Chains A and B, each alone.
Chain A
Amino acid sequence: MRITKLSLVVAALVLTGTALQAQSNNASITATASVQTPINVLGAQQLNFGNVFPGVNKTVNATDLTNGGRFDVTGQASTPVTLSFTLPATLSSGGNTMPIVSYTGVHALLATQVGGVAFSPAAGATPTLSGTGALFVWVGAQVQPATNQVAGVYTGSVVMTVVY
């Protein structure tokens, strides 16, 4: 009788221990992604108005391969991108300014501008990179020197942003 009581006490302790002991297991899976080619933009050619004369507006067209500003873009082949621009309203020479207006743009898959598409830089554009991941963008504009425009070298920055 005394032995039986002892056994029951021990059994109760074991039961309690088992009930508190949790079973667990785990497994893993992977997460995978294939990151495509990042966009690279190069300011390849300056927008060059050359000599301008007071009171005489001068225009450089985006189709002007010699004087138009050009950006070269590389990225993932055959992928759409969005072009946006920050366009200066004036060029500066020290404390003097000269208006720059009427921006024009052309984007093409070839550096020769063959098959190019005209667009408004102010509105931006959504072209598609070529099969080799290339895009060329030209920018033109008009400067409007005043009749009393102070002589000097005037500059400004045209910034193009490209995102997928």
Chain B
Amino acid sequence: MGTMLLGVPLVAQGKPVTVTGIRSVTFGAVLPGVPRVVLRTDPANSGQFDIKGPKGNVLLSFVLPLTMTGPAGAQMPLTFGASDAGYSQTQSIGSQVGFDPKQPFTAAMPNNGRASVFVGGTANPATNQRAGAYTATIILNVTVLP
């Protein structure tokens, strides 16, 4: 009897955390041999994720690609610096706390349960980089910490 009564609130306690990819990282036109940097503070070209979840700490971790894939499988190196990701409790690109996207980062969700993560990076085309469209996938994992 006691177990059943306590079991109900345990289920209700599981307020889900949701993550939504809002905007891609856009390097635009890239010239062979000329690195192209997109800053996490770039409102038009930086990547953005929105997070909804319970108030408290969450662990943010990225799955980052090493390359972008282009025509006929051509690869173009993609690198991320130690401050290429940013966390915003206000979901404002102008108010971020920078962090290394290559390392897990613990962030505090605000009272309203909404936050954003921004990400930039550097595309490094070779001097003989094959022309064409290149893409890669960036994944953000969000885990609610106990």
Contacts and interface: CB of A to CB of B under 8 A. Distances in A.
Interface residues of B, number: 63
Interface residues of A, number: 34
Contacts of A11: 2-3, 6
B6 A15 contact: yes
Interface in B106-146: 119, 121, 123, 125, 127-146
A53 interface: no
Contacts of B129: 35, 38
Contacts of A26: 19, 139-142
Interface string A85-102: 000000000000000000
Interface of B: 1-3, 6-7, 10, 13-34, 36, 47-49, 53, 59, 65, 68, 70, 76, 78, 119, 121, 123, 125, 127-146
Interface of A: 3-4, 7-8, 10-11, 14-15, 18-39, 76, 79, 163-164
16 contacts: A3-B1, A7-B2, A10-B3, A18-B13, A22-B143, A25-B19, A25-B142, A26-B139, A26-B140, A27-B140, A31-B135, A31-B136, A33-B27, A35-B125, A35-B129, A38-B129
